[in-house]
């Protein structure tokens, strides 16, 4: 597994590699190595075993902030090719999880010099409709460096049909497939919270709306703040809890203050994985107001906890959230978001019905064991 960021950094891609990787070891007999960057969160530990996987962190430069078109954090690892040629020389397949980080020299080393199989997972589809800067630079990369990588790959997995259609040229669809992300349905389950999340934030027993994601433009949180203002007019005791961190936090708090919502909106981060299900269980409705979303892993986590989801009709969201599990609304439409939140919050029977369907869908379609079997089949087809 080639991923510049890995546990204890815990973004969406890193969670996928960790959860699927340890199941490939335990359930399918693979030997899995992870070659990643040394990051501050690793506290200088260069080698360790996580979930049966051998993790090697190569010396790196770490950048906590980047220009607007490159989401932080970002790393540079000048010795990565040496690590591949020496430490990983006996690997059968090299599986890339960040197409923006591995350059032609690395690709040539793996494919031409070492003559190994090369795979890629598209975790982030081609940006469209985010901003002129992001769309331009992201599109330029995929039309140049990205296309070179796509051609060199023996197989390309995409986290949604939308990501495949938006990112991979039609001439390469024959070697591409959709492999969804997943959730641990034994950890993320319905029921009463084990920890009192509401008391921790002084929320009370009123309606609680939950969202989870990085506080960046793509996640659409300003539209959720506006929608919540409409909800408050109908339900004064409603509260909004957002799990996430990022450069827009101050802007979101300022907007909340200007709308008189500062005491009703809570932003938190740094929640241990084991406690995260309690946050979903404590909420009545989960909302993901994305402008761009290749898959929407947090929606699946909420569904596994038996919560109905309101999300936008963009990217992979329509493939994740079925009509019986929640509602899809147009992006940037805070009125539509508010309407569906009010509909669910005001009807206990409807909320429970959609929550039960959401749980069933998560177990049947998105359990990590299901996903790991699909990855295993991909590797066997390549070999």
Locate the domains of the chain by residue range.
Answer: 12-182+367-382, 197-365
pLDDT at residue 127 in the model:
81
* Burial (0-12, 13-18, 19+ Cβ within 10 Å), 70: middle
Identify the CATH homologous superfamily for domain 197-365.
Glycogen Phosphorylase B; (3.40.50.2000)
pLDDT at residue 68 in the model:
56
Task: Classify domain 12-182+367-382 by CATH architecture.
Answer: 3-Layer(aba) Sandwich (3.40)
pLDDT at residue 286 in the model:
98
User: Looking at residue 263, what DSSP letter applies?
Assistant: T
* 117 Cβ neighbours under 8 A, 6+ residues apart: 92, 93, 94, 154, 382, 383
If phi > 0 it is left, if psi is from -120 to 50 it is alpha, else beta; for residue 129 that is left
What sign does the dihedral 379-175-84-49 (CA atoms) show?
negative
Distance in angstroms (rounded) separating the CA atoms of residues 250 and 252: 5
Per-residue DSSP letters for 62-108? Answer: EES---TTSPSPEEE-TTHHHHHHHTTTT-SEEEES-TTT--HHHHH
**pLDDT tens-place values along the chain, 383 residues long:** 999 999 998 778 999 999 999 999 999 999 999 999 999 999 999 999 999 999 999 999 998 876 655 666 889 999 999 999 999 999 999 999 999 999 999 999 999 999 999 999 999 898 876 678 878 888 899 999 999 999 999 999 999 999 999 999 999 999 999 999 999 999 999 999 999 999 999 999 999 999 999 898 899 999 999 999 999 999 999 999 999 988 899 999 999 999 999 999 999 998 988 999 999 999 999 999 999 999 999 999 999 999 999 999 999 999 999 999 999 999 999 999 999 999 999 999 999 999 999 999 999 999 999 999 999 999 999 99
- Is the fold of 12-182+367-382 the same as that of 197-365? yes
pLDDT at residue 128 in the model:
75
Helix (H, G, I), strand (E, B) or coil at 206: coil
Whether 48 and 8 have beta carbons less than 8 Å apart is answered as: no
Q: For the chain, how long is the longest CA-to-CA vector?
A: 65
pLDDT at residue 260 in the model:
96
Which regions of the chain does DSSP assign to beta strands (E)? Answer: 33-37, 47-50, 53-58, 61-63, 74-76, 93-96, 117-122, 155-158, 176-178, 208-212, 239-243, 265-268, 285-288, 309-312, 326-329
User: Looking at residue 2, what DSSP letter applies?
Assistant: B
Q: Tokens standing for 112? A: 């031409």
What sign does the dihedral 368-373-377-379 (CA atoms) show?
positive
Distance in angstroms (rounded) separating the CA atoms of residues 48 and 28: 21
Helix (H) or strand (E) holding 330, with range, is: none
């Amino acid at each position: 597994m080639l991923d510049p960021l890995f546990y204890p950094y815990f973004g969406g891609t890193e969670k996928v590699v960790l959860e699927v990787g340890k199941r490939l070891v335990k359930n399918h007999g693979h030997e899995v190595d992870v070659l990643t960057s040394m990051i501050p969160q690793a506290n200088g530990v260069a080698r360790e075993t996580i979930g049966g996987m051998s993790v090697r962190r190569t010396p790196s430069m770490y950048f906590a902030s980047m220009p607007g078109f490159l989401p932080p954090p970002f790393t540079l690892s000048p010795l990565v090719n040496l690590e591949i040629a020496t430490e990983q020389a006996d690997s059968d397949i090299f599986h890339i999880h960040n197409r923006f980080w591995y350059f032609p020299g690395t690709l040539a080393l793996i494919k031409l010099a070492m003559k190994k199989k090369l795979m890629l997972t598209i975790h982030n589809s081609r940006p469209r409709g985010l901003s002129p800067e992001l769309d331009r630079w992201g599109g330029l990369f995929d039309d140049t460096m990205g296309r070179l990588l796509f051609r060199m790959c023996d197989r390309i997995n995409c986290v949604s049909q939308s990501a495949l259609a938006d990112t991979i040229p039609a001439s390469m669809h024959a070697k591409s497939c959709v492999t969804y992300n997943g959730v641990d349905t034994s950890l993320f389950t319905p029921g009463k919270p084990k920890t009192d999340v509401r008391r921790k934030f002084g929320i009370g027993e009123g309606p609680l709306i939950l969202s989870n994601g990085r506080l960046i433009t793509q996640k659409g949180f300003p539209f959720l703040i506006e929608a919540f203002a409409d909800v408050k007019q109908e339900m004064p005791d409603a509260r909004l809890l957002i799990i996430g961190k990022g450069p827009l936090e101050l802007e979101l708090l300022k907007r909340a203050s200007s709308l008189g919502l500062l005491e009703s909106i809570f932003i938190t981060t740094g929640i241990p994985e084991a406690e995260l299900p309690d946050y979903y269980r404590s909420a009545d409705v989960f909302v993901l107001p994305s402008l761009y979303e290749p898959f929407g892993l947090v929606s699946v986590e909420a569904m596994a906890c038996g919560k109905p989801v309101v999300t936008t009709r963009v990217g992979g969201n329509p493939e994740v959230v079925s009509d019986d599990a929640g509602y899809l609304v147009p992006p940037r439409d805070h009125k539509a978001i508010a309407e569906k939140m009010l509909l669910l919050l005001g009807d206990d029977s409807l909320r429970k019905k959609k929550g039960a369907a959401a749980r069933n869908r998560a177990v049947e379609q998105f359990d990590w064991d299901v996903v790991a079997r699909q990855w295993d089949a991909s590797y066997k087809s390549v070999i």
